[in-house]
Amino acid sequence: MKTILTCIAFLFIGLIYAQTENDTLPKAEVSTTMQSVVINGRTIYLNAKAGTFQVKDENNKPLALMGHTFYSKGDKRDNNTRKRPIVFAYNGGPGSSSFWLHMGILGPKRIVVNDPDYTPAAPYQLVNNNYSILDVADLVMIDPVGTGLSVPLGKSKFKDFWGVDQDIKSLSLFIKQFLIENDRMNSPKYLLGESYGTFRNAGLMNVLLGDGIAMNGVIMVSAVFDLRTLLFPPNDDLPYIVHFPTYAATAWYHDRVENKPENVYDYLNEIRTFTEEVYTPALFKGDRIELEEKRSVAAKLAAYTGTSMDYWMKADLRVTNSEFFAEFLREQGELVGRLDSRFTGINQDPLAQEGNRDPQSDAISPAYIAGFLDYLYRVLKVNKSLNYATSAYGRKGFDWDWKHAGNERWGTQAAINTGVDMAEAMSKDPNVKVLILNGIYDIATVFYGVEHSINHLGLTKEIKENILMKYYEAGHMMYTHPPSMAQFKKDVSDFIKDTSR
């Protein structure tokens, strides 16, 4: 009897402790406002909810407060509204919040920048976004834990969310619970990610499908699936191969190509042929390549990129992206942009082998950051005591765990690739469509690297046809370029319309 009473006492104390712990946890907090956007002359009225949402783990314990902004049209009790497409969107990094996409192209307002030049200091222009997708879908902008307003809860720590699989898990929990809370489980559903957000997308679509949540479509903005296409590890020719077409596109844009074709896409087709038939075989030979052949290839590399043959010879036919940033406009004393090579900036060290900063980021970041924070607190009425972190990079201990369970079957974590997850999801669900948007002047996530990844997924012909590739004459954030804004709007809206029927 004494033992039973002791157990009951401990159980009672445990319940009190758990209740006390829950009472002391920060609560989810949302500001609700009415917003509107005019798209093609039509005014759309929106319910805007900005703040945090409590996410629980599989055992129903509080895991995190996830920052988000939810734009919806109409009353959620309306059956037609519940069948309206819903898009979950985020940026990349890893470690970036979602304000870039939010204020660049997706939300009801956007920040005006001087593309492709430096934007002067405030006051910045916050204008109606005629290119928003809010006429065809509701929108949820998500900030992963460590960014925006998103923070761990209870016993969770920031490091528990900072990794490939940890990040995918927390986003999948948020999306599932958010759909349930807002009665949207039967709505057409979409993921939209930029940069690392596409790497996340490829894994997330597979995890959600395994949880019984199929996507109608997945939208990849400036994609990467195989990290080898971004990095330049020793004895790996792939990154040099996939970067070269973007170097050539950059030279075409800056008029560094003699007798250049009028159409940049015709030029890129020529570059693709050269890369596959000449450049790749030459690199594969390594130090067995004959000097005469090496000089011939170097001469073509130089002509296509507006650089010198001597430079390519000294580089052993292999130039990293950072080396290209510094070399391409060295004689003019300028650097070329990483995120968008149409942008240029002052090179403070003309002797530097590598570029040490990104002119495109320098040119637009203040406008986006200040403009968004003004919009978040002044227009969306988010509590000003809540600090919005534009990135996780400044947080103590930020260190990304790059291991990925999806790559364990190969017995190595040396080359992390979530393309295999996307291939698995598309093969399990032959109805899902994927839209990939590529900026041809993007040296951060190069378009030829995406093409290589897609061509090596092992998909059947029928499934591969579910992947749509679109190209823009802009960079990583193609939505800073006015003509590309219009194209982005059309491509994404048409995709949602076609896949939500």
DSSP for 181-225 reads HTT-TTS-EEEEEETHHHHHHHHHHHHHHHTT---SEEEEES--S
User: Does the pTM exceed 0.85?
Assistant: yes
Q: What is the pLDDT of residues 178-218, one digit of tens each?
A: 999 999 999 999 999 999 999 999 999 999 999 999 999 99
Note the pLDDT of residue 81: 75
Which pairs count as long-range contacts for 407-411, CB under 8 Å and 24+ apart, including other chains? none
Note the pLDDT of residue 139: 98
Q: How confident is the model at residue 24 (pLDDT cuts 50, 70, 90)?
A: confident
Helices of type H across 394-481: 419-428, 447-454, 461-464
Helices of type H across 92-150: 99-101
SS3 at position 273 = helix
CATH 3.40.50.1820 at 30-228+366-395+405-499, yes or no? yes
Strand-strand pairing, 217-221 and 433-439: parallel
Give yes or no for residue 464 having a pLDDT over 90.
yes
Which token pair is 261?
């074709």
Q: How confident is the model at residue 11 (pLDDT cuts 50, 70, 90)?
A: very low
Distances (CA, A) of 250 to 99, 329, 387, 392: 27, 11, 39, 31
Asked which of 11-15, 345-349, 440-444 is least confident by mean pLDDT, the reply is 11-15
Residue listed under structure tokens 């949540």? 213
Note the pLDDT of residue 173: 98
Residues 482, 126 contacting (CB under 8 angstroms): no
d(CA 230, CA 251): 20
Note the pLDDT of residue 405: 86
Average pLDDT over residues 95-101: 98
Domain range annotation of the chain: 30-228+366-395+405-499, 230-357
**CA proximity to 166, closest of 426, 405, 424:** 405
CB atoms within 10 A of CB 175: 24
